[in-house]
């Protein structure tokens, strides 16, 4: 059985759906990528698994949206559907107000995390599952020495205190490649460089030898040279400890460099998933093909234009009405908006009615 099995995960903020039925699995000790453009629901998915979303007041209607038979008359359906886009707020950040309504399953080692009580979840967070966030400066407490920010998690989950905890914290800093760890323990986040801060966050995350590590764009806030070092460090740690890693990124280069398998997310749903080599060799979903086409390649002549995907993620129709990518897809056909396209295949799965023709 897989270490983490996410099944039909849905997250809504009020009336807007951020994650719309995501399913994927993470096998013990593997590195799994979650890719997709900004706003497609990567962070919300990971926060839902971690139980870190603000609590909602419960859905207004039934939990599982009723499947609507999309039997609109044919002619010009695409246009009509586009004219009624789903409300997708353009605010990238976390809103401070309304909570999230989460449904589906996130089975970790046999337990559905979404059914755990808050205190039971707190006993697992930081111990069995840990997370590394995107912005290392804002993710560390500015008024607490970094040493304390490490020892508090050792104290909580491993019962280490005082000198023992300090010693272990120094060991951890040493392991993530921070020189002179005993001195660094007493320093504050603003006294460290960006790369070092991210190393501290990684040290905190691996402090209790978690079985699953989730890294949400761990390098986007860093210099390019530092990025490679941090990725190398992450790969090293998980390889060494046999930790599974869920790597969230919008950088296909990162995926190619370190992941075993990858899930491509579009508008809150997985549209293609495959082992990494397979995905790069035979991308099947037009969105994945578009993503691969919009990566600059060093070996292309300079005048060869990149082919960006037209439109934006805000041009979207509801999955239950048809393919959400239809408004931006070059191959769109009428079949695409006649109800929800199913996820087809197991090892290499895709959610596109024309996949057979494309492949």
Ligand X SMILES: Nc1ncnc2c1ncn2[C@@H]1O[C@H](COP(=O)(O)OP(=O)(O)OP(=O)(O)O)[C@@H](O)[C@H]1O
Secondary structure (3-state) at 258: helix
Residue 152 CB, nearest distance to ligand X (Å)? 26
Choose between 226 and 314: whose C-beta lies nearer to ligand X.
314
Instruction: Write down how long the chain is.
Output: 359
Q: Which of residues 157-216 bind another protein (CB under 8 A)?
A: 157, 188, 190-191, 201, 204
Q: Which does 352 bind (CB under 5 to 8 A by kind): another protein, Mg ion, ligand SF4, none?
A: ligand SF4
The whole-angstrom separation of Cα 104 and Cα 98 is 20
Site for ligand SF4 in 16-35 (CB under 6 A): none
Among positions 325, 338, 340, 348, the unique one binding ligand SF4 when judged by CB under 6 A? 325
Please give the Cα distance from 349 to 203 (Å, whole number): 35
Contacted by 133, from ligand SF4, ligand X, another protein, none: CB < 5 to 8 Å by type:
another protein
**Counts for the chain of helices (H) and strands (E), in that order:** 12, 11
Dist CA 72 CA 19 (whole Å): 25
Secondary structure (DSSP) of 101-166:
EEEEEEEETTEEGGGS-HHHHHHHBTTTEEEE-S-TTTTS-TTS-HHHHHHHHHHHHH---HHHHH
Residue from the set 18, 329, 338, 340 that interacts with ligand SF4 by CB under 6 A: 329
143 binds another protein (CB under 8 A): yes
Tell me the backbone φ, ψ of residue 17, rounded to 5 degrees. -95, 125
Nearest distance in Å: CB 32, ligand X:
16
Count of other CB atoms within 10 angstroms of residue 57: 9
Pick the binder of another protein from 34, 40, 153, 196 (CB under 8 A). Answer: 153
The Cα 265–Cα 276 span in angstroms is 15
Q: Which stretch binds ligand SF4 (CB under 6 A): 53-61, 132-140, 227-235, 323-331?
A: 323-331
The residue with tokens 């999955």 is 319
Of 196 and 222, nearer to ligand X (C-beta) is: 222
Please give the distance of CA 266 from its chain centroid, rounded to a whole number.
Answer: 12
Contacting range for ligand SF4; rule: CB under 6 A; set: 119-127, 164-172, 295-303, 327-335: 327-335
| Site for ligand X contains 39 (CB under 6 A) | yes
Site string for ligand SF4, 282-321 (x = CB under 6 A): ---xx-----------------------------------
- Interface ranges with ligand SF4 (CB under 6 A): 285-286, 323, 325-326, 329, 331-332, 336, 341, 352-354
């Amino acid at each position: 059985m897989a270490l983490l099995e996410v099944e039909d995960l849905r997250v809504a903020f009020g009336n807007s759906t951020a994650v719309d039925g995501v399913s994927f699995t993470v096998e013990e000790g593997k590195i799994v990528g979650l890719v997709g453009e900004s706003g497609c629901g990567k962070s919300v998915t990971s926060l839902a698994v971690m139980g870190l979303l603000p609590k909602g007041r419960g859905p207004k209607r039934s939990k599982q949206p009723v499947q609507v038979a999309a039997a609109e008359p044919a002619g010009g359906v695409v246009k009509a559907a586009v004219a009624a886009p789903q409300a997708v707020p353009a605010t990238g950040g976390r809103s401070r107000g309304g909570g999230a309504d989460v449904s589906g399953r996130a089975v970790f080692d046999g337990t559905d995390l979404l059914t755990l009580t808050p205190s039971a979840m707190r006993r697992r967070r930081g111990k069995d599952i840990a997370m590394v966030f995107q912005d290392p400066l804002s993710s560390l407490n500015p008024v607490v020495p970094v040493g304390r920010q490490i020892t508090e998690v050792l104290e909580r989950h491993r019962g280490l205190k005082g000198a023992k905890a300090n010693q272990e914290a120094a060991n951890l800093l040493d392991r993530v490649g921070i020189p002179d760890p005993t001195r660094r323990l007493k320093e504050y986040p603003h006294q460290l460089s960006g790369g070092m801060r991210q190393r501290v966050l990684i040290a905190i995350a691996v402090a209790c030898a978690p079985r699953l590590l989730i890294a949400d764009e761990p390098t986007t806030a860093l210099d390019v040279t530092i990025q490679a070092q941090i990725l190398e460090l992450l790969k090293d740690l998980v390889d060494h400890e046999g930790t599974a890693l869920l790597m969230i990124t919008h950088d296909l280069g990162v995926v190619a460099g370190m992941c075993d398998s990858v899930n491509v997310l579009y508008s809150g749903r997985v549209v293609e998933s495959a082992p990494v080599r397979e995905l790069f060799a035979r991308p099947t979903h037009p969105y994945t093909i578009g993503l691969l086409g919009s990566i600059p390649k060093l070996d292309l002549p300079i005048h060869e234009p990149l082919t960006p995907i037209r439109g934006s993620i805000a041009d979207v129709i509801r999955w239950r009405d048809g393919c959400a990518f239809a408004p931006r897809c070059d191959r769109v056909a009428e079949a695409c908006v006649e109800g929800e396209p199913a996820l087809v295949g197991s090892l290499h799965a895709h959610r596109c009615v024309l996949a057979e023709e494309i492949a």
